[in-house]
Structure 1
Amino acid sequence: MEVQQGLHMNGGNGETSYTNNSKFQELGITKAKPLVNRIISDWYSTNLPRCLRIADLGSSSGPNALLVITQIIEAIDETCNQVNCNMPEFQVFLNDLPSNDFNTIFKTLPAFYEQLKKEKGEKFGPCSISGLPGSFYERLFPSTTIDFFHSSNSLHWLSQVPPIVESNKGNVYLAKMTPPSVLKAYLVQFQKDFSLFLSLRSKEITSGGRMVIIMLGRRSEDPFGKEGYVLELLSKSLNDLVSEGLIEEAKVDSFNLPIYMPSSKEIEGIVCVEGSFYIDQLEIFDVNWGASDDDDNKEFVFDRFISGQRVAKCIRAVSESLLASHFGDAIIDTLFSRFMEYVSEHLLKEGKFVNFVISLRGK
């Protein structure tokens, strides 16, 4: 599968768009905010560059694309007040694959700039935000030009579906019945991709620069842990459509998602072997499938059907492009209606996404 050509989050502002169905990703960014702020503040207070160059890799579209940048600017503003210095200029690169809906982001920029000027006043220096289409598994920037790399909810996406020689029959990801050869293919592909990513960024980051990665992972060393169960429910939904004659069994057997959820030990091992970065910190936290609009809202009343719908729309927003390319557009509504039912039922038992927040420093 050509991931670069086929993968993109659902664009626009419609009901199934990523813009309106990225609450889980927002919660992950929000939970990581204290660590990101601490890292960027520590780095800035010891360097004080006139222009701070930031790259957000896998930025997608919608409100989350500018959320991290807002948080970084606020952290720098607070640091400048503490050390009594002027705000730097900001040069920001929003990177994603060429099929990403950059236009939705660009349309929000005038209001974003206006809000910054209103909040920060005359002390706020120029802020330039641009889109950079391209895969982060390739070189993106000239050598030693980026001070701070950030990537959220992107690096669990592989550069390609692993080359699988044995069928992962009836599954779109790793499951209990997945053959060992398929598991090995997924792990090898992730090791290759993540190592390449680190090597490329090591050439582009400035001396002493920092990088923070937020990505899906798993707590257990068991590759078939419960963290991937949401994708097992997607497989189950597809197999239902096979039983009903809506899609061919061979179509399901030949479809595998280009995703890998690593363990912390796998991450640490790759960073150590690749050798370009130190891990400053690696934190693990959970985001509930049934997350409310405010995850800390004590008055929130859990409704498994509403939460099931929220999960289904989220997974649809990030995977529809690949599913529609392989199975056709006609089955998408039926597929995710069935998927929503399974997720709603499962939420009576449990349901959590596991997020890693990884702070890296160049050697």
Structure 2
Amino acid sequence: MDVASVLHMNGGTEEASYANNSLLQKKVMSLTRPIRDEVIRSIYKEKLPKSLAIADLGCSSGSNTLFMTCELIETVEMLCKELSHESPEYVIFLNDLPGNDFNNIFKSIECFKQNLGTRVVGEIGQCFITGLPGSFFGRILPTSSLHFFHSSYSLHFLSQVPEDVDNNKGNICWTSKSPLNVQRAYYQQFQRDFSLFLKCRAEELIEGGRMVLILGGRSSSDPSNNESCYILELLAKALNNMVSEGIIKKDQIDSFNIPIYTPSPSELKLEIEKEGSFILNHLEVSEISWKAACGDELNDNSGYKVAQLVRAAMEPVLASHFGEAIMDDIFYRYQDILADRMSKEKTVFLNLVASLTKTT
């Protein structure tokens, strides 16, 4: 799998687009705003920059893309008024892989500026927005050029499918049912990727620069529980049902693995300490119900809405392997499985929220 070319959210504004199926991600960003506000206020008061440089890593497209940026600028503008300071210029970098729908973002910039004007009283500093295609598992910005990095729901994706996972048969990612060697391979790939991510961001941040990272995770260090990728285990069930009916060949699913890893707090903390460029200021585990994808109400449409949430994120990867022709069939089956589980179980996503400061 060429991850850089196929790993992106569904673009555009169609029914299965990320733009129309990212309500849950927006709620997560709203719930974590106090942490971002504290961090951006801290870095601004410490540095008092005339130009404040911010990057959103894994920005995707749709209304969420500039939602966080609007909140950050609003917070800084309020602080400037408290301190009787002139507003800084804002340099905003929106990063994602090249397959991301950047055109959709650019079309929304004027709406973003109008929205910002309604939220902030008085004149606002100039705002310069740049699209930044490329993998964040490598350098993407000049040395010591950024004050603040933010990433939400992106860092659980890996740079590649781990090697030596050929025996992960019947599964589509690292799950509680995967063989031990597969679990180790996924964890080791996460270690390599996250260490490289930290190294690159440390080079790009100014001294004392900050990061807030939100990613899918798990609360337990035990990889055998079903916290890790339960929602994808249910997707695998839909695919395996299609294998039993002869719609998908068995070797197709046996050769398919999604590059995703949901670390525990101890795993994340260990990599930060080992890499050594950052101080971990804050780390918490939070949970959000799958129902957030449908406005927190469980109803007859809930299975469909959660299936659309997953489809918006996973369809390009699935289509590249299984073909576009069966996508509707896969997600029609999947929504029934989800609806059944949501009616019987507590179904939540677990997230890790981390705040870091560059040490040198």
Place the TM-score, normalised by the shorter chain, in its bin.
over 0.9
- Whichever residue aligns with residue 148 of structure 2, its letter is F
- For the pair 1:274 / 2:275, whether they are aligned, the reply is yes
Where 2:28 maps in the other structure, the secondary structure is helix
- Whichever residue aligns with residue 42 of structure 1, its letter is S
Offset of 1:187 from its aligned partner? Answer: 0.2
Offset of 1:117 from its aligned partner? Answer: 3.6
Would the aligned equivalents of 1:291 and 1:307 in 2 still touch at CA under 8 Å?
A: no
- For the pair 1:336 / 2:337, whether they are aligned, the reply is no
Deviates more, 1:163-172 or 1:349-358: 163-172
Would the aligned equivalents of 1:174 and 1:224 in 2 still touch at CA under 8 Å?
A: no
Offset of 1:115 from its aligned partner? Answer: 3.2
- Whichever residue aligns with residue 12 of structure 1, its letter is G
Offset of 1:302 from its aligned partner? Answer: 2.4
Q: Distance in 2 between matches of 1:302 and 1:58?
A: 29
- 1:355 corresponds to which of 331, 340, 351: 351
Where 2:284 maps in the other structure, the secondary structure is strand
Would the aligned equivalents of 1:290 and 1:308 in 2 still touch at CA under 8 Å?
A: no
Deviates more, 1:268-277 or 1:74-83: 74-83
Would the aligned equivalents of 1:45 and 1:83 in 2 still touch at CA under 8 Å?
A: no
What does residue 298 of structure 1 align with? none
Q: Distance in 1 between matches of 2:40 and 2:277?
A: 20
What does residue 326 of structure 1 align with? 321
Offset of 1:292 from its aligned partner? Answer: 6.0
- 1:345 corresponds to which of 336, 340, 344: 340
What percentage of residue pairs aligned between the two structures are identical? 45
What does residue 171 of structure 2 align with? 171
- Whichever residue aligns with residue 234 of structure 2, its letter is L
Q: Distance in 2 between matches of 1:208 and 1:293?
A: 39
Runs of 4+ in 1 over 3 A off after TM superposition: 117-122, 292-295
Structure 2: 5+ residue stretches without partners: none
Distance 1:212 1:73, change over 3 A: same
What does residue 147 of structure 2 align with? 147
- Whichever residue aligns with residue 323 of structure 2, its letter is G
Q: Distance in 2 between matches of 1:48 and 1:31?
A: 27
Deviation per CA, 1:170-221, whole angstroms, max 9, x where unpaired? 0002234311111110000000000000000000001111000010000111
- For the pair 1:307 / 2:302, whether they are aligned, the reply is yes
Count of residue pairs brought into register by the alignment: 357
Q: Distance in 1 between matches of 2:209 and 2:173?
A: 35
Deviation per CA, 1:79-127, whole angstroms, max 9, x where unpaired? 1122111111100000000110000010011122233345435521100
Where 2:292 maps in the other structure, the secondary structure is coil
Where 2:66 maps in the other structure, the secondary structure is helix
Structure 1: 5+ residue stretches without partners: 296-300
What does residue 288 of structure 1 align with? 289
Distance 1:14 1:226, change over 3 A: same
Would the aligned equivalents of 1:86 and 1:123 in 2 still touch at CA under 8 Å?
A: no
Distance 1:109 1:331, change over 3 A: same
What does residue 193 of structure 2 align with? 193
Would the aligned equivalents of 2:176 and 2:226 in 1 still touch at CA under 8 Å?
A: no
Where 2:222 maps in the other structure, the secondary structure is coil
- Whichever residue aligns with residue 256 of structure 1, its letter is N
Offset of 1:308 from its aligned partner? Answer: 1.4
Distance 1:154 1:50, change over 3 A: same
Offset of 1:274 from its aligned partner? Answer: 0.8
- Whichever residue aligns with residue 109 of structure 2, its letter is L
Would the aligned equivalents of 2:281 and 2:357 in 1 still touch at CA under 8 Å?
A: yes
What does residue 75 of structure 2 align with? 75
Where 2:21 maps in the other structure, the secondary structure is coil
Deviates more, 1:251-260 or 1:227-236: 227-236
Where 1:65 maps in the other structure, the secondary structure is coil
Q: Distance in 2 between matches of 1:330 and 1:118?
A: 44
Offset of 1:165 from its aligned partner? Answer: 4.7
Distance 1:106 1:132, change over 3 A: same
**TM-score calculated relative to the size of structure 2:** 0.96
**TM-score calculated relative to the size of structure 1:** 0.96
Q: Distance in 2 between matches of 1:81 and 1:50?
A: 15
What does residue 97 of structure 1 align with? 97
Would the aligned equivalents of 1:174 and 1:223 in 2 still touch at CA under 8 Å?
A: no
Offset of 1:225 from its aligned partner? Answer: 2.4
- For the pair 1:232 / 2:246, whether they are aligned, the reply is no
